[in-house]
Homo-oligomer: A and B are copies of this chain.
């Protein structure tokens, strides 16, 4: 039997218009997960996907959760078994006045950079998840079946904190576990270079409240003898970084590995300018650890950030208050093998050790997730590198993710599998903002990429 991939790709090329019609139908459903008024629309989006997946030969069902339903589908056969993950819910559309058209009445617009489909969710994540389903459709239409065993999981709460996700993964671990997860919710580097995420940073969120006097005092009555908790807090947090930008917490860098030479080579080859990256937000100098590149600081090095500070009087004018308490929200981005629980403990111990006898401190846990570092052992990674390189006309690079995508960590910790994250979004897609769009080329080339990847995995 000859290689079916060329014929599958031809089908995708020939079927572009019908594919856009299907995406349009899904985009018409205003499945805003955070707004209870749209709960029925979330159900409708799940129903639409169940019908679509059933039409593609999957055994598909809508699965209830305490929130919006999950869509789970099983299809194909063979030794290779992949899980595809996406989400059908979208962000709210406010401010509506800034949209050039109804966010749920999608249309293909011609722009200077080619045709785009404009609607809420066009890029995040309906357009991206449909690249995968269109690839499945082309395979089914051409060969009568899917090229490998595929489980599909599409959630409806990604834009509202995924409250049902972890319990659902735990309750259905056996059913959902595959060799690898395929996730299409990221973008092209510099809007043109295909990438695969080899790691994602973890996150520890922490809040500390330092209390001194049991009430706000007048600084003219008590200033001098009475300890000011804002003095204590700034003193402690002011020591969180050393002069070279490194985090001073004991043991903070335990489990932080150097980036493999070949990955660093790839990063150096990216069209990335630290000057331009910082210049765009009014900055010029790298603030992280001395001697590290900007991409290391973003992708492979942990950080400590103060996300919020409050104490005393912060309104207009002046009040000579000696505040009773001072608060800070602090977060740590984690990499590699850093243990979130140990980082939190180290921070708390470090703060406690610096507290003067007269102040008390309380801590609030604002969640944590370990970094996800992909082993990249599954053949899906190589398949994706090849497919992306051919389709986008330049080699795919392994990049790090500066942010935290909890689903990848959950798949690792709950289902024990890597996630192969790739995607075709562009910075101009305006996800979460008015006038979101997805390039028709992203949609089409994306589907071609998945068709190749599935073909390689099934071959």
Contact = CB atoms under 8 A, between A and B. Distances in A.
A239 B238 CA distance: 8
A369 to B, nearest CB: 12
Interface residues of A, number: 78
Contact of A241 (B226, B231, B286, B321): B231
B366 A226 contact: no
Interface stretch (A51-59, A135-143, A307-315, A444-452): A307-315
A317 B203 CA distance: 15
A50 B70 CA distance: 83
A318 to B, nearest CB: 4
A7 interface: no
A281 B314 contact: no
A416 to B, nearest CB: 25
Given A213-B283, A220-B404, A231-B241, 12 more contacts: A219-B303, A219-B305, A225-B294, A226-B287, A230-B328, A235-B239, A235-B241, A236-B238, A283-B358, A305-B322, A307-B320, A310-B314
A312 B297 contact: no
Contact of A307 (B222, B287, B323): B323
Interface in A195-232: 201, 203, 205, 207, 212-215, 217-228, 230-231
A92 to B, nearest CB: 17
A130 B218 CA distance: 28
Interface string A26-47: 0000000000000000000000
A288 B329 contact: no
B357 A205 contact: no
A313 B323 contact: no
Given A240-B231, A308-B314, A308-B323, A224 B284 contact: no
A331 interface: yes
Chain A at the B interface: SS class: mixed
A214 to B, nearest CB: 3
Contacts of A19: none
B238 A203 contact: no
A170 interface: no
A367 interface: yes
Given A333-B220, A358-B287, A366-B317, A306 B231 contact: yes
Contacts of A367: 318
23 contacts: A218-B403, A222-B281, A222-B402, A224-B294, A224-B402, A225-B277, A225-B286, A225-B287, A225-B294, A228-B306, A230-B308, A234-B234, A234-B237, A235-B241, A236-B238, A285-B358, A287-B356, A306-B326, A307-B318, A308-B319, A309-B314, A313-B329, A318-B367
A327 interface: yes
Interface string A134-154: 000000000000000000000
Given A285-B356, A358-B285, A234 B312 contact: no
Interface in A308-356: 308-314, 317-323, 326-329, 331, 333, 356
The 7 nearest A-B residue pairs measured at CB: A238-B238, A220-B403, A224-B297, A214-B282, A230-B306, A227-B287, A318-B366
A301 interface: yes
Given A207-B318, A307-B219, A282 B227 contact: no
Nearest to A217: B281
A287 to B, nearest CB: 4
A283 to B, nearest CB: 5
B331 A320 contact: yes
A270 interface: no
A331 to B, nearest CB: 6
Contact of A285 (B227, B237, B322, B327): B227
A73 interface: no
A72 B96 CA distance: 63
